[in-house]
A and B are shown apart, each in its own frame.
Chain A
Amino acid sequence: MRHRSGGAPVRSSSERPHAALPRPDGAWPGEPPGARPDGDEPRPEDVIAFPDGLPGFEACRRFVLLSSSELAPFSVLRALDPPAPAFLLIDPVAVLARYRRVLAEADRRRLQADDQDALLWLAIVSVGGDRSASVNLRAPIVINPRLMIGCQVMPHESLYPLRHPLTL
């Protein structure tokens, strides 16, 4: 399975975050798109549809994924719909080398993914007030870059914790 580790494949070191998803031809976007700090509208091709939203943010159906060398190994998932929450993400394999990406058939269908699709797996980072951080390995975000569809998967049985301590 084709997958870039680190969750933030970036070629240039521009100060602007880049959309982190490959184009259909497999190339990574070279210019800074996405919802940028200056409030520009994201390009339509950078918008990822989350048909069910995220638990707790069910009304947020459109997101952009931002990445830059300054952000690495993190990337940012930003909702375009109010209340426009933003999430810090990291490749679960970067956190736990033996992390296994197992997708239930129902989730595969939600993502309309076929066997050929290289899916992007990212875990949500939660930063506490005391600068401690944990990673939600229990319910990762999975994105199908071919169709730009994403969802947060919640396997009925999971080996992984909701709050895995983050040490980098």
Chain B
Amino acid sequence: MLVFTRKRNEAIVIGDGIEVVVLRAARDVVKLGVNAPANVAVHRREIYDLIRRENASAARPPEEIDRWISQLARGPRPGRRESPR
């Protein structure tokens, strides 16, 4: 990991067009400003990790969805009346 020591209002530049500025620093809290192109997603790590974990638990292997679809296609949905064919 690259480590920088920065003072207030000093910045680092990442790649082409991403800038991280230290706006304020207290004992346990640092306030950062991020300037990035509009198509670059910037997220708090813990939010991203939360959504990552939720996606991982929601993801199903394709075979399971296949099975599920074919079961649905075969029988009537629970709680829904079967339409006459």
Whose C-beta in chain A lies nearest to the C-beta of B42? A106
Task: Verify B69–A52 contact, CB threshold 8 A.
Answer: no
Task: Verify B55–A37 contact, CB threshold 8 A.
Answer: no
Task: Verify B66–A37 contact, CB threshold 8 A.
Answer: yes
A57 an interface residue at 8 Å Cβ cutoff? yes
**In the assembled complex, how far is the CB of residue B40 from the closest CB belonging to chain A, in whole angstroms?**
8
- Rounded to whole angstroms, the CA-CA distance of A88 and B58 in the bound complex is 8
**In the assembled complex, how far is the CB of residue B2 from the closest CB belonging to chain A, in whole angstroms?**
22
- Assign chain B's interface to a size class: 20 to 34
Digit string of B35-58 for contact with A (CB within 8 Å is 1, else 0)? 000110101100110111111111
Task: Verify A68–B69 contact, CB threshold 8 A.
Answer: yes
For window 57-81 of B, CB contacts with A under 8 Å fall at 57-62, 64-66, 69-70, 72-73, 77
Neighbour of A162 across the interface among B48, B51, B61, B66, CB < 8 A = B51
Q: A52-B41, A70-B73, A106-B38 are in contact. Are A124 and B54 (CB under 8 A)?
A: yes
- Rounded to whole angstroms, the CA-CA distance of A76 and B64 in the bound complex is 12
- Assign chain A's interface to a size class: 35 or more
Digit string of B14-50 for contact with A (CB within 8 Å is 1, else 0)? 0000000000000000000000001101011001101
Which residues of B sit under 8 angstroms from A163, Cβ to Cβ?
54
Neighbour of A70 across the interface among B58, B61, B77, CB < 8 A = B77
- Rounded to whole angstroms, the CA-CA distance of A76 and B70 in the bound complex is 13
Neighbour of A85 across the interface among B41, B43, B59, B73, CB < 8 A = B59
Task: Verify A70–B48 contact, CB threshold 8 A.
Answer: no
Which residues of A sit under 8 angstroms from B38, Cβ to Cβ?
105-106, 109-110
A154 an interface residue at 8 Å Cβ cutoff? yes
Task: Verify A56–B55 contact, CB threshold 8 A.
Answer: yes
Task: Verify A125–B58 contact, CB threshold 8 A.
Answer: yes
**In the assembled complex, how far is the CB of residue A80 from the closest CB belonging to chain B, in whole angstroms?**
10
Q: A126-B58, A139-B51, A152-B51 are in contact. Are A76 and B41 (CB under 8 A)?
A: no
Given contacts A15-B73, A70-B77, A124-B58, 4 further A-B contacts (CB under 8 A): A70-B69, A76-B65, A78-B65, A156-B43
Interchain residue pairs A-B with the least CB separation, the first 4: A85-B59, A126-B58, A56-B52, A15-B73
The chain A residues found within 8 Å of chain B, CB to CB, are 15-17, 35, 37, 52, 54-57, 66, 68, 70-71, 76, 78, 83-88, 105-106, 109-110, 124-127, 136, 138-139, 152, 154, 156, 162-163
